[in-house]
A and B are shown apart, each in its own frame.
Chain A
Amino acid sequence: GENVEQHPSTLSVQEGDSAVIKCTYSDSASNYFPWYKQELGKRPQLIIDIRSNVGEKKDQRIAVTLNKTAKHFSLHITETQPEDSAVYFCAASMGGGADGLTFGKGTHLIIQP
């Protein structure tokens, strides 16, 4: 089955700096890669996703890049703010509406004031 590795497990950045979280996946059949943000005790919230026919996608301060050849994808957050502090999860699936998400172990992002 699919295996998703996520790094780093903890990331501390100064407010205003950029943060990058990286994930690799194992199954070349995977073609849908979402990112979720989870605050303590709350539900995972979908923040951005990318499909295998796209190399990069941006939404305001967040962007995701995908390299299908190398089987890795990354989340980039620019101009970080205190409210960006949370645990971020990457995930992969084969898409098509008949497959659960395989998640990475998560990255605890800490924004230092």
Chain B
Amino acid sequence: DSGVTQTPKHLITATGQRVTLRCSPRSGDLSVYWYQQSLDQGLQFLIQYYNGEERAKGNILERFSAQQFPDLHSELNLSSLELGDSALYFCASSASDRYNEQFFGPGTRLTVL
């Protein structure tokens, strides 16, 4: 157990819908990262937040957005969902003073029908 929690574990929805994935980082970690894992694209970095502020952006679509709240939990919002958005979404966290040593949560499996 990495100490990073994610909810829900599974999510099934329809095309065009909007969903919110939630992540709580390890105690004391200020950085939260979101990754998407799919068979064709592999593991891809989406976005990073540090202590409430956006810190780095990866291959995140405009239909996706994220935020980090004062209690440091983070939410990833996916809207206008398409079949191709079906994937495993992982959250990872790291302490602010470490060299990007990231610990992953258990993931949310999103299925878009």
Contacts and interface: CB of A to CB of B under 8 A. Distances in A.
Given A95-B99, A99-B56, A43 B45 contact: no
Interface residues of B, number: 29
Contacts of B46: 100
Nearest to B43: A103
Interface residues of A, number: 24
Contacts of A43: 2, 90, 104-107
Interface string A71-113: 0000000000000000001000101111111111110000000
Contact of A105 (B42, B56, B94, B102): B42
A9 B107 CA distance: 23
A107 B54 CA distance: 32
B42 A101 contact: no
A93 B107 CA distance: 21
Interface of B: 2, 31, 33, 35, 42-48, 50, 55-56, 58, 90, 94, 96-107
